[in-house]
Amino acid sequence: MFERGEIYAKWKALDKEEQCYTTEVENGCHIEIRAREAEDSDIEMFISVYTATGERAYERIRKLPGIEWTVEDALKRGIDQAERIAGGASGRLACADAHGHDDE
C-alpha cells in the first residue's frame, strides 16, 4: 500500500470522473498519474511517485489549460514527468539508484 499525503487527499476530496495510470518502473519505484476535467474546463493532473516500499516520494497537482490539453494528453505528460522523477532526473529521488547500493 502507498503512504498517501495531503495532496492525494485534496485530489480525492473532489469525487470526479478521472483516468488513471499506474506502474512499477525498473528501479522498483511506483508511479501513479491521474487526470480529469476541472470545473473551469481546464485539466487537472495528479502526479505521484512512491518508493519500492510504498513511501511517498513525490505528490503534486498540476493544472493545464483545457484549450491546449486533453485528459489523455495530460496523462501522457504526467507519465513522462513521473518516470523522469522516479529515474532520478535532476537528482530528485534517492530511491532512483538505490538498487546500485545494496552492498553499501
Inside any domain, residue 102:
no
Residue 88, domain extent: 6-93
Number of separate domains in the chain:
1
pLDDT given for residue 94 in this prediction:
53
Q: Which of these, 21, 28, 17, 1, lies nearest to 81 by C-alpha position?
A: 21
pLDDT given for residue 89 in this prediction:
63
Inside any domain, residue 103:
no
Inside any domain, residue 98:
no
28-56 pLDDT tens trace: 999 999 999 998 899 999 999 999 999 99
Inside any domain, residue 62:
yes
Inside any domain, residue 83:
yes
Inside any domain, residue 42:
yes
| CATH at 66 | 3.10.450
Q: Which of these, 79, 80, 47, 59, lies nearest to 6 by C-alpha position?
A: 59
The partner residues of 24 in beta bridges, in order of sequence, read 30
- The reported pTM is 0.82
- Residue 2 CA to residue 11 CA, distance in Å, equals 15
Q: Which of these, 37, 19, 28, 27, lies nearest to 76 by C-alpha position?
A: 19
Inside any domain, residue 1:
no
pLDDT along the chain (104 residues), means of 10: 93 95 93 94 96 94 95 96 83 49 40
